[in-house]
């Protein structure tokens, strides 16, 4: 498998390093407008190949995406003093439009993993700009938030986070929704678990944990200026699911045609990831509060998209079938009608 990484900053370089250590790909190309940086990262990583896995690592131009199986987009910039969320989104949308323009002449059929922030907005922008089949376009979305949620629940009860199943869905941002109704430790619902000497989590505990998940990224940035290890592991978990045809579940961001009556926006839901990208969205059931939270999350994203000139009703390029007819991009798991819960796989 060849992975092309666009953006050789903290996140891009750490994804490359994590891939090198974990294995699972034969070639990595690193692409950055700062070619010196891309070259330096490729050289530094290559010098460790004899001590880790046999991987060809090169700095390339955009021609590097031509034979890629997966393209990981980590290019962008972080917020500058005095900038609003909209200012930053506008700057990174501009960068993403540039990247799509540069990539398109070389792009074949790779899966694309979006990481740059605001990740849901940029996933939607790339979807609308590239006309890529939506199952091949995967935003890292709330994979990292879900990992933080699982870690914090595991720590709360001194249980290995790998035995905690819990999702955060919606926007990768302030309106993200932790799905308490489905969270479990082993097979016990988290909300019912009461080990000796303590009561089940009450509303105050849940609020505390939810806020810790929400503020986790900000805390790391405050302490060290950027986050990159856990996001690199999150991206690598998606890459492994594709490379290994795992059919494993990750809360990735993808373009939703109509889910819970939420139309035409990219946000995170639990999705089954395999060789082809997103195989389907899982038919999870949410309680009324979680449904309302997901709608709020979608509204937040739609408002920002509209402010950026990407209307909720997307003007994306519709794929053409052999007869030249338009085909809508659709996940296998998208319900066709408004439903009050995630169900109806077709
Ligand atoms: N989704 C998540 O959970 C998550 C987590 C952490 C960081 N991020 C995001 O990832 C992005 C990168 O973060 P970082 O810390 O690596 O930033 P960084 O500043 O260290 O690196 C960004 C890199 O992008 C490059 N770049 C800029 N424009 C480019 C273009 N047009 N083509 C190619 N390369 C270009 C820059 O030269 C730089 O090397 C940011 O948007 C950040 O917010 C997302």
Q: Which two tokens stand for residue 224?
A: 């060290």
| pLDDT confidence of residue 313 | 53
Report pLDDT digits (tens) over 108-159: 999 999 999 999 999 999 999 999 999 999 999 999 999 999 999 999 999 9
Name the closest-CA residue to atom 6, ligand 1. 227
CA of 281 from ligand 1 middle (Å) equals: 28
Q: For residue 119, what are the CA distances in angstroms to 3, 31, 115, 254, 290? A: 19, 19, 6, 10, 21
Quick one: CATH architecture of 2-141?
3-Layer(aba) Sandwich (3.40)
Contacts 24+ apart (CB under 8 A), 306-312: 307/86, 308/86, 308/89, 308/90, 308/93, 308/121, 308/125, 310/93, 310/121, 310/124, 310/125, 310/128, 312/263, 312/264, 312/265
Whether 316 sits among the annotated catalytic residues: the reply is no
Question: What's the whole-number mean pLDDT along residues 242-246?
Answer: 97
Name the closest-CA residue to atom 10, ligand 1. 116
Using the predicted structure, report yes or no on whether residue 331 has a pLDDT greater than 70: no
Atom of ligand 1 nearest to the CA of 37: 39
pTM attached to this predicted model = 0.90
Q: For the chain, what are the domain ranges?
A: 2-141, 143-306
| pLDDT confidence of residue 118 | 95
CA of 69 from ligand 1 middle (Å) equals: 21
| pLDDT confidence of residue 312 | 59
Percent of the chain topping pLDDT 70: 90
What is the Cα gyration radius of the chain? 20
Q: What residue ranges line ligand 1, CB within 6 angstroms?
A: 6-12, 31-34, 37, 74-78, 92, 95, 98-99, 115-117, 119, 140, 144, 172, 226-228, 231
Among the ranges given (35-39, 87-91, 104-108, 249-253), the one the predictor scored with the smallest mean pLDDT: 87-91
Among the ranges given (65-74, 165-174, 207-216, 311-320), the one the predictor scored with the smallest mean pLDDT: 311-320
Using the predicted structure, report yes or no on whether residue 102 has a pLDDT greater than 80: yes
Report pLDDT digits (tens) over 187-208: 999 999 999 889 999 999 999 9
Using the predicted structure, report yes or no on whether residue 161 has a pLDDT greater than 90: yes
Name the closest-CA residue to atom 26, ligand 1. 75
Question: What's the whole-number mean pLDDT along residues 289-316?
Answer: 86
Using the predicted structure, report yes or no on whether residue 340 has a pLDDT greater than 80: no
CA of 342 from ligand 1 middle (Å) equals: 33
Using the predicted structure, report yes or no on whether residue 330 has a pLDDT greater than 90: no
Report pLDDT digits (tens) over 6-40: 999 999 999 999 999 998 899 999 999 999 999 99
Name the closest-CA residue to atom 31, ligand 1. 95
Active site residue: 172, 316, 329, 331, which one? 172
Atom of ligand 1 nearest to the CA of 143: 3
| pLDDT confidence of residue 172 | 95
CA of 21 from ligand 1 middle (Å) equals: 21
Task: State which of 8, 9, 62 you would mutate to test the pocket of ligand 1, scoring each by most atoms of that ligand within 8 A of its C-beta.
Answer: 9
**Mean pLDDT, the chain, integer:** 89
Q: Which fold has domain 143-306?
A: L-2-Hydroxyisocaproate Dehydrogenase; Chain A, domain 2 (3.90.110)
Name the closest-CA residue to atom 13, ligand 1. 11
Name the closest-CA residue to atom 5, ligand 1. 231
Atom of ligand 1 nearest to the CA of 10: 16
CB distance 40 to 30 below 8 Å: no
């Amino acid at each position: 498998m060849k992975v092309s990484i666009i953006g050789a900053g903290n996140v891009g370089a750490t994804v490359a390093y994590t891939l090198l250590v974990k294995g699972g790909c034969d070639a990595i190309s690193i692409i950055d407008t700062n070619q010196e940086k891309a070259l330096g990262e490729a050289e530094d990583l290559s010098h460790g190949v004899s001590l880790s896995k046999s991987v060809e690592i090169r700095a390339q131009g955009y021609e590097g995406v031509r034979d890629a199986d997966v393209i990981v987009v980590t290019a962008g910039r972080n917020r500058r003093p005095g900038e609003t969320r909209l200012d930053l989104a506008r700057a990174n949308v501009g960068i993403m439009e540039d990247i799509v323009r540069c990539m398109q002449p070389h792009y074949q059929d790779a899966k694309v993993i979006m990481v740059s922030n605001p990740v849901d907005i940029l996933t939607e922008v790339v979807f609308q700009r590239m006309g890529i089949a939506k199952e091949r376009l995967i935003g890292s979305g709330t994979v990292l938030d879900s990992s933080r949620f699982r870690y914090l629940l595991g720590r709360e009860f001194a249980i290995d986070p790998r035995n905690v199943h819990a999702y955060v869905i919606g926007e990768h941002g302030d309106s993200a929704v932790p799905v308490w109704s489905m969270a479990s430790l082993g097979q016990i619902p988290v909300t019912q678990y009461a080990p000796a000497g303590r009561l089940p989590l009450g509303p105050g505990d849940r609020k505390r944990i939810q806020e810790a998940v929400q503020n986790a990224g900000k805390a790391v940035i405050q302490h060290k200026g950027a986050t990159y290890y856990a996001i690199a592991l999150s991206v690598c978990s998606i890459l492994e699911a594709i490379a290994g045809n795992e059919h494993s579940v990750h809360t990735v961001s993808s373009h939703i045609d109509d889910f819970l009556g939420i139309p035409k926006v990219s946000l995170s839901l639990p999705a089954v990831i395999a060789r082809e990208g997103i195989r389907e969205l899982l038919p999870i059931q949410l309680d009324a509060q979680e449904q309302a939270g997901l709608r709020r999350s979608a509204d937040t994203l739609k408002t920002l998209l509209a402010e950026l000139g990407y209307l909720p009703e997307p003007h994306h390029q519709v794929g053409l079938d052999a007869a030249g007819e338009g085909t809508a991009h659709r996940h296998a798991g998208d319900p066709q009608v408004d439903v009050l819960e995630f169900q109806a796989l077709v």
